[in-house]
């Protein structure tokens, strides 16, 4: 007869021999700032079909998954210029996203235009700090979603960037912005204490680093938070590599929180393996490259659906209109100088304003690089895809100095050869000159620019306060297209001057 002692010992032995029960995990698949890159980019990285192959493989290998997009699905090449978002927003559902958030470029054609496409998107549209009540988007956007995985509940909330100073006023009319830091932790607290979720993921489009001084970023939000468990970010196009110190930020309680981001154009897909028992996150990145082409071949229906759109894009990308003397990157001086000088030349010719002193453009408006050799109509369309117009502003010297201070604070911007400026390591303006002479704060200057900046975009408040002497009615990219055609006809090539005109000392 077995005694109670024997039964207890046998039970212990059985427990020792039994396999350990593994904790459940959820794998979150994420991407950000794909910017209309439906096909692979010029370096043969990225592409929607390849991303779908990656997503499906990760889904097949994991019991629980979520697929998220951290904003700016549109704007950046001819797909958006030609089709206005019809392709990109349909691809969101083809790739099976569970949730997406707005990026600032979702508003490039205005909220009503975006609504036209977003109303058909099946993925959850998230934003906890954008109030759409007075817009067509009212009722379509939720502050968060909650998904159950076994006996655990995971919430995803959307946190968006301040549109003022970044988006033209008319393009977000009716939208009310709520401060991201205040909303993020308050929403996370509510989700944990009232909704009783186990983990809160912040799907963010505010940037790993800030657009402008004083604007909060992902790191700031985490440092002030007690309740957020993971941040999946976008907007700043940062590539936050797994395993680096940058990928971990301490929260208000001294707890390490994973913060990730994948650069831009969908060239990297991230996975975040969340242990539902311990909360530990394992962060990885997958390169979206040609190794996925074979797996992508099975998406025949999606490829066939894309073909007519692709043919429209290719017809422009293969239509030569000019030649470039050399390759120039959009992040470097020669191309930025060329854009400013060309814009000044164009505006002086078409505006009718007798004297235009200089041109100021935004480097963020130059979306792709200039290759050496043949330049196509599609390339120019991709380089300048925005619906902006040329403007001439009448502005005081002090207003011009104030604008240059803002530009210095972000490391300089595009200016024509008439302008020169220096700034220090803190982004403080040191000198500002036109044609070698110090800008006179009391003098009146006429400055060529685009309406995005004239409306106060990129935080150019002094431009917003200036008098408009002339506003064009044609997209400025169309003028640049005509300009490069004229260069070709005259036997000249596109080429920008070397050397920065706004220089850090």
Q: Which of 221, 218, 260 is nearest to 239 (CA)?
A: 260
Residue 345 pairs in a beta bridge with none
Tokens 């980019």 locate to: 41
CB 230 within 8 A of CB 272: yes
What is the per-residue pLDDT for 22?
Answer: 57
Q: Beta strand pairing status for 230-232 and 373-376?
A: unpaired
Assess contact for 110 and 75: CB atoms under 8 A. no
More confident residue, 225 or 13: 225
**How far is the C-alpha of 85 from the C-alpha of 107, rounded, in Å?**
11
Pairing of the two strands 248-250 and 467-475? unpaired
pLDDT in tens, 401-450: 999 999 999 999 999 999 999 999 999 999 999 999 999 999 999 999 99
Three-state DSSP class for residue 472:
strand
Q: Is 11's pLDDT higher than 90?
A: no
pLDDT of residue 302: 97
Question: From CA 471, how far away is CA 448, in angstroms rounded?
Answer: 10
Residue 471: beta bridge partners? 391
Q: How confident is the model at residue 492 (pLDDT cuts 50, 70, 90)?
A: very high
| Chain centre distance of CA 112 | 20
Phi-psi region at 436: left, alpha or beta (left = phi > 0; alpha = psi -120 to 50): left
Cβ-count burial 424-458 (b if 16+ within 10 Å, e if not): eeebebeebebeeeebeeeeebbbbbbbbbbbbbb
On the question of pLDDT at 20 being above 90, the answer is: no
Give the whole-angstrom CA distance, residue 433 versus residue 414: 15
Distance CA 263, CA 118 (A): 24
DSSP 178-224: --HHHHHHHHHHHHHHTS--SEEEEEEES-SS-SSTT---HHHHHHT
In the chain, what are the helix, strand and coil shares in percent, each to the nearest 5? Answer: 35, 25, 40
How confident is the model over 198-235, as pLDDT tens digits?
Answer: 999 999 999 999 987 788 999 999 999 999 999 999 99
Mean pLDDT, range 279-302, rounded to an integer:
98
So what's the architecture of 321-504 in CATH? Alpha-Beta Complex (3.90)
Contact 94, 111 (CB under 8 A): no
Domain(s) labelled CATH 3.90.780.10 in the chain stretch across 321-504
Locate all alpha helices (DSSP H) within 384-438, ordered by sequence. 397-409
Which pLDDT score is estimated for 169? 86
Which residue pairs, CB below 8 angstroms and at least 24 apart, start in 221-225? Answer: 221/159, 221/180, 221/181, 221/184, 221/185, 222/249, 222/250, 222/251, 222/257, 222/259, 223/249, 223/250, 223/251, 223/252, 224/181, 224/185, 224/252, 225/184, 225/185, 225/188, 225/251, 225/252, 225/257
What is the 8-class DSSP label of residue 474? E
Q: How many CB atoms lie within 10 A of CB 484?
A: 21
Strands (E), 356-443: 358-361, 373-376, 389-396, 414-415, 419-423, 429-434, 437-438
**25-309: CATH architecture:** 4-Layer Sandwich (3.60)
Q: In sequence order, what are the beta bridge partners of 124? A: 99
Percent above pLDDT 90 for the chain: 87
Q: Give residue for tokens 């007869």.
A: 1
pLDDT of 336 strictly over 90: yes
Domain with CATH 3.60.21.10 in the chain: 25-309
pLDDT digits (tens, 9 = 90+) for 359-391: 999 998 998 899 999 999 999 998 998 889 999
Length, in residues, of the chain: 505
């Amino acid at each position: 007869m077995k005694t109670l002692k024997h039964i207890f010992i046998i039970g212990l032995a059985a427990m020792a021999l039994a396999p350990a029960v593994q904790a459940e995990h959820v794998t979150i698949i994420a991407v950000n700032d794909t910017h209309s890159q439906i096909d692979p980019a010029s370096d043969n990285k990225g592409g929607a079909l390849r991303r779908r192959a990656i997503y499906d493989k990760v889904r097949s290998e994991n019991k629980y998954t979520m697929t998220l997009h951290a904003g700016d699905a549109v704007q950046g090449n001819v797909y958006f210029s030609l089709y206005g978002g019809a392709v990109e927003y349909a691809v969101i559902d083809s790739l099976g996203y569970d949730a997406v958030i707005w990026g600032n470029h979702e508003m490039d054609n205005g909220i009503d235009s975006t609504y036209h496409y977003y109303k058909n998107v099946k993925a959850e549209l998230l934003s906890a700090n954008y109030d759409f009540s007075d817009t067509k988007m009212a009722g379509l956007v939720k502050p968060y979603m909650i998904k159950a995985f076994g006996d655990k509940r995971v919430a995803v909330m959307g946190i968006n960037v301040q549109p003022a100073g970044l988006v033209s006023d008319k393009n977000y009319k009716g939208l009310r912005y709520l401060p991201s830091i205040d909303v993020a932790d308050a929403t996370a607290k509510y989700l944990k204490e009232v909704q009783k979720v186990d983990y809160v993921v912040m799907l963010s489009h505010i940037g790993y680093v800030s657009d402008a001084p004083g604007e909060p970023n992902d790191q700031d939000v985490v440092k002030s938070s007690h309740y957020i468990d993971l941040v999946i970010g976008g907007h700043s196009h940062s590539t936050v590599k797994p395993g680096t110190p940058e990928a971990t930020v301490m929260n208000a309680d001294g707890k390490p929180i994973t913060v990730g981001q994948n650069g831009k154009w969908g060239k990297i897909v991230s996975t975040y393996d969340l242990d539902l028992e311990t909360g530990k996150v394992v962060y990885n990145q997958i390169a979206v490259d040609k190794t996925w082409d074979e797996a992508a071949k099975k998406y025949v229906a999606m490829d066939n659906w894309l073909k007519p759109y692709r043919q429209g894009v290719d017809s422009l990308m293969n239509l030569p209109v000019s030649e470039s003397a050399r390759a120039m990157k959009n992040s470097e001086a020669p191309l930025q100088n060329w854009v400013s000088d060309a814009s000044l030349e164009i505006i002086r010719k078409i505006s009718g304003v007798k004297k235009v002193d200089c041109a100021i453009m935004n480097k963020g408006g130059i979306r792709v690089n200039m290759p050496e050799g043949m330049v196509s109509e599609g390339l120019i369309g991709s380089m300048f895809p925005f619906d902006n117009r040329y403007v001439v502003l009448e502005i005081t010297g002090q207003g011009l100095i104030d604008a240059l201070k803002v530009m210095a604070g972000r490391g300089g911007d595009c200016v024509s050869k008439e302008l020169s400026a220096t700034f220090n390591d803190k982004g403080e303006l040191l000198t500002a000159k036109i044609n070698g002479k110090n800008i006179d704060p009391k003098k009146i200057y006429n400055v060529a620019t685009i309406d995005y900046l004239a409306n106060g975009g990129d935080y150019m408040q002094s431009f917003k306060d200036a008098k408009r002497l002339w506003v064009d009615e044609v997209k400025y990219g169309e003028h640049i297209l005509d300009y490069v055609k004229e260069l070709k006809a005259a036997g000249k090539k596109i080429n920008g001057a070397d050397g920065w005109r706004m220089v850090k000392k």
